[in-house]
Amino acid sequence: MALPPMNVPQLAAADAARAARMLNEVRDARLAGQRARVAPRPVIEQSWDRMLRSGVDPEHDFRAGLLSADEVRRRREESPLREVLPVLREGLLSVADAAHHIMVVADEEGRVLWREGCNPVLRKADGLGFELGADWGESVVGTNGVGTPAVVRRPVQVFAAEHFVRSHTTWTCAGAPITDPRNGRLLGVIDVSGPLETMHPATLAWVDAVAKLAESRLREKHLSSLERLRAVAAPVLARLAGRGAVVDGDGWTAAVTGMPYASRIALPKSPSPGRRWLPALGLCSVEPLAGGWLVRSVTDGAEPLPGGATRIVLDLTRPRSWSVTVSGGAGSWCHELSPRHAELLYLLATHRGGRSAAGLAEDMFGDPGRTVTVRAELSRVRRYLGGLLQHRPYRFCEEAEVELLLPADPKGLLPHSIAPAVVRDRTSTP
């Protein structure tokens, strides 16, 4: 006869100490292969089974190496979760601090990227290895409020001895996954944690509601980006005689012509300019646009657009207004550049063979170690240049013609810049 699962939230709300004792009995019996008075909750029992199969030691915690401070900064810069941090802080932090909890935000691998809240609880978390850069994936540290929600892809509360590793059984946590509304990919997990006496049965619902609010904000940002792409698409599609669509980098459709509207078109994993076979359209020409791609059928008799080759013009002639213009079969579009992006694209235009992140860091800052900043900025550049900017090393794609327009007087080259490579070029004799 199957044992009834223990109602942890209800029991803990009435008597946290008694609930913790009962959970210890359940955990000890389960690990010893014995029958307990009650069964663990299914989500916990399934996690324990995974831990036993994978060989996680329940009596000794294992702490994988912390990420370096530079790597944490790099992951923060590249994580879409940084865009919803204000939502997470507003929804979680003030209450968490007052309730003697901490808020933790981890990436899809379970690495802790942000950790804020009650200072005494932060110090206790340090003792558990719950630190910035730590790996709290379930396969590393056992059942917990970061790693387990990432595995089961739903909110999970882990109370006291529901943690698989004994040293974590003085802790309670509630975590919820955040997924990318564009593609369903796991972006990370938000977690509220603290000593077991701080547990409240409503914590999980609270954390889940904030996670859904963050996903809603990401969805709003995606819809706004499609609206901007739609404005770019209108004049381009007006020139097409055959079937075509303008989509973002994940294939979400901004506009179509000559074909029924489909909300999404399957693109290659890493789109690049050229001819590709796509299930929805057959053989297609894929061409870059600002923030997306023009996908044009070439199997229905449509004539190629004139000027199919891609031309990139980097205009640095004006004192405080720099731009990159892309022209090709899809027409032309222009993007105004920030001072930092103007520097980076200038360096890539003058090194057509490409530059490593360390080489660009040396050019920009005189310090080859500052690769985190370089990679983060180039990640932002790729949002509008897409496949026209390649990496390993960083460079413009070989198929594109690149023209660099410079001031007549070399002293007028990016006058704001203190990048060593730019300063050398600005002061060199013509």
Tens-digit pLDDT profile for residues 394-416: 999 887 889 999 998 888 899 98
Question: Distance from first CA to last CA of the chain, Å, rounded?
Answer: 89
Q: How far is CA 93 from the centre of its chain?
A: 21
Check: CB of residue 349 under 8 Å from CB of residue 396: yes
Mean pLDDT, the chain, whole residue set: 87
| Tens digit of each residue's pLDDT (9 = 90 or more) over 330-356 | 667 788 899 999 999 999 999 989 999
Please name every residue paired with 422 in a beta bridge, in sequence order, or none if there are none.
none
d(CA 214, CA 212) in angstroms, rounded, equals: 5
What is the model's pTM? Answer: 0.76
- Please give the pLDDT value at position 304: 46
**Max Cα distance, the chain (Å):** 89
**Is residue 142 scored above 90 in pLDDT?**
yes
**How confident is the model over 196-211, as a mean pLDDT?**
87
* DSSP line for 200-259: -TTHHHHHHHHHHHHHHHHHHHHHHHHHHHHHHHHHHHHT-SS-EEEE-TT-BEEEEESS
- Please give the pLDDT value at position 16: 66
How many CB atoms neighbour CB 262 within 10 A? 15
Task: Write the burial class of residue 242 (CB in 10 Å: 0-12 exposed, 13-18 middle, 19+ buried).
Answer: middle
**How confident is the model over 275-286, as a mean pLDDT?**
84
Check: CB of residue 404 under 8 Å from CB of residue 314: yes
Check: CB of residue 394 under 8 Å from CB of residue 379: no
Nearest CA among 304, 251, 301, 239 for reference residue 278: 251
